[in-house]
Structure 1
Amino acid sequence: MTAEGGAAQGEALNGGMVNAGAVFRRGSLVERPAPPTARALHSHLRALKEHGFDAAPTPVQLTTDGREQLTYIPGDVALPPFPRWVMTEAALSSVGSLLRRLHAASSAITVDTRAAWPQALADPEGGTMLCHNDVCPDNVVFRDGRATALIDFDQAAPGRPLWDVAMTARYWVPMLDPESAAALYPAAGLDVPKRLRLLADSYGLSPQQRAELPGVIEQATASCRAFVADRVADGDPVYTQVLSERGGWQRWDRVQEWLVAHREVFTTTLLD
């Protein structure tokens, strides 16, 4: 997130849609609405550090008014329309490597099965590892053109590592038809199959995972569409406005049709 202005409660941090206008920086701390799973999530974030992953915020405390305080991670966070520097191959590779580091630590941590982890963007097949589920440019901190930290774990839930890779690919490759991509990613002419292969290589996917990835990306896209549909049905003004500005449901139809039409190309490039 980026800082804007100064207020009594601190600097407002722009970025994200769910907590828009409700996240503030106060010196070395960030204060934001606490997710329902905050206690379990804070425990997980602390465990990540114990297992060598220092690229996530450290929980400080929960406040009595339903907010959480975490350490602020300095760096650059890209907001839409995404700048060219965030779409370089070096940036993409660093995101894949960072995600692999997260999963290496997460796989060693026992998931709290008592927590009501959010299901909207969760892997429908479930899993034994806590996935981030929302590694979009808004939630990755960069320094010197490379991804150095992940923020906003609000959508974290148990799932397969491949599901997290698929969700990440949606945003970072990006897995969008050219018309949809042009609205968010000004770096024209992105080679989608090549970039998907680059993400798979930097993460270190196995041949079996590479073969499965295009289909899982289609699943993840359907889950994201359902997530937006639920928000719009609930009257969320932010999601309703964004849906209208980005082509409505026709855009989602176009993206899903494009993914299916190019599935073979993606699979061939991943396995070549």
Structure 2
Amino acid sequence: MSEQRLDGGIANAGQVVRVGPHVLRPSSPYSGSIHAFLRAVKDAGFEGAPMPAGIDEDGRERLVFIDGEVPVAPYPDWSQSDTALASVARLLRGLHDAAREFDPQGLAWNDGLADPAGGTIVCHNDVELSNVVFRDGVAVALLDFEFAAPGRPVYDVAQLARLCVPIEHDFDQDRIGWQPADRQARLRLVADAYGLDRDGRAELLPAMNDALARIEAAARRSLASADPNAVAMMNQRGGIEKFDRRRRWWTARYDQFANALL
């Protein structure tokens, strides 16, 4: 069958294709661990992730294609709705619940965006809109588990909020097509839809600090390595200066976000 290129991605941009009922993408040293995890959550009843079908002789991993809409920047209006955001948070909760019986010890994981505090639940760590499959405006599946690693579920919620509230300076939100919105209310919506309890809400903003520091460190490492895809994406999204803008924006509004979670 012919290969149909799929849009999105950074490190694997242009290398992810659909072939009939499957998606082919470059494998990594972590593919075996990720495939074991995906099979485990499927066995636990979670339907919102692609099933692995193995690794081909050419080194590409093969996963079952999930039909639906995957938004890419500039994000369409429907994907920025509160309905869409709440559905993503509920889907992430389903993943975490299904992951609780999976033992990640002894397996290799990508620590590029992993929770610096560690943990025992395998988290996605990169739930942005282009890694979510929607049907009729509701999230039905998560894609691209490349950065999956053990951590705290609240850290994964913080990464989701960072990317989908989003936690970003207005200038950089505009660059990737985010419409003006009440970001504090959207963070509260994430916490409500996911089902964070009182302790989880108290941990969310410190976890957000960890998530913001983690992605900045990862971006600086990518630029230092002169990865052409990373450099191109960074230039498209406001340059390395975006992290300074984000830090100032987040610090100035921290108390407002804290009050929104009360």
Say whether the fold is shared (TM-score over 0.5).
yes
Q: Which moved more, 1:174-183 or 1:96-105?
A: 174-183
CA distance in 2, matches of 1:232, 1:43: 31
Structure 2 counterpart SS, 1:195: helix
Residues 1:237 and 2:243 are matched in the alignment = no
CA distance in 2, matches of 1:255, 1:166: 15
CA distance in 1, matches of 2:155, 2:19: 34
CA distance in 1, matches of 2:233, 2:48: 30
Residues 1:198 and 2:199 are matched in the alignment = no
Give the unaligned 5+ runs of structure 1.
1-7
Quick one: structure 1 residues 211 and 185, their matched pair in 2 at CA, closer, same or farther if it must change by over 3 Å?
Answer: farther
CA distance in 2, matches of 1:186, 1:178: 9
1:157 is matched with which residue: 144, 149, 152? 149
Structure 1 counterpart SS, 2:42: helix
2:125 is matched with which residue: 133, 138, 162? 133
Q: Which moved more, 1:137-146 or 1:174-183?
A: 174-183
CA distance in 1, matches of 2:40, 2:145: 14
Find the counterpart in structure 2 of residue 77 from structure 1: 70
| 8 Å CA contact 2:96, 2:153 repeated in 1 | yes
1:46 is matched with which residue: 39, 52, 56? 39
- Superposition deviation, residue 68 in structure 1: 0.8
Find the counterpart in structure 2 of residue 30 from structure 1: 23
Residues 1:183 and 2:170 are matched in the alignment = no
CA distance in 1, matches of 2:4, 2:67: 14
Give the unaligned 5+ runs of structure 2.
none
Q: Which moved more, 1:89-98 or 1:174-183?
A: 174-183
Find the counterpart in structure 1 of residue 162 from structure 2: 170
- Superposition deviation, residue 65 in structure 1: 2.0
Structure 1 counterpart SS, 2:171: helix
1:10 is matched with which residue: 3, 27, 36? 3
Q: Any idea what the Cα deviations from partners look like across 1:165-224, whole Å, max 9, x if unmatched?
A: 00000111011121221111342x210000000010000001121122122112101110
**Aligned letter for 1:74?**
D
| 8 Å CA contact 1:218, 1:259 repeated in 2 | no
CA distance in 2, matches of 1:241, 1:259: 25
Q: Any idea what the Cα deviations from partners look like across 1:64-102, whole Å, max 9, x if unmatched?
A: 221111100000001011111100010011001100000
Quick one: structure 1 residues 185 and 218, their matched pair in 2 at CA, closer, same or farther if it must change by over 3 Å?
Answer: farther
| Aligned Cα root-mean-square deviation (Å) | 1.2
| 8 Å CA contact 2:15, 2:25 repeated in 1 | yes
Structure 1 counterpart SS, 2:241: helix
Aligned-residue identity in percent: 43
| 8 Å CA contact 1:215, 1:263 repeated in 2 | no
Find the counterpart in structure 2 of residue 4 from structure 1: none
2:204 is matched with which residue: 210, 213, 218? 213
| 8 Å CA contact 2:7, 2:13 repeated in 1 | yes
**Aligned letter for 1:29?**
H
What number of residue pairs does the alignment pair up?
A: 262
2:242 is matched with which residue: 229, 245, 251? 251
- Superposition deviation, residue 244 in structure 1: 2.3
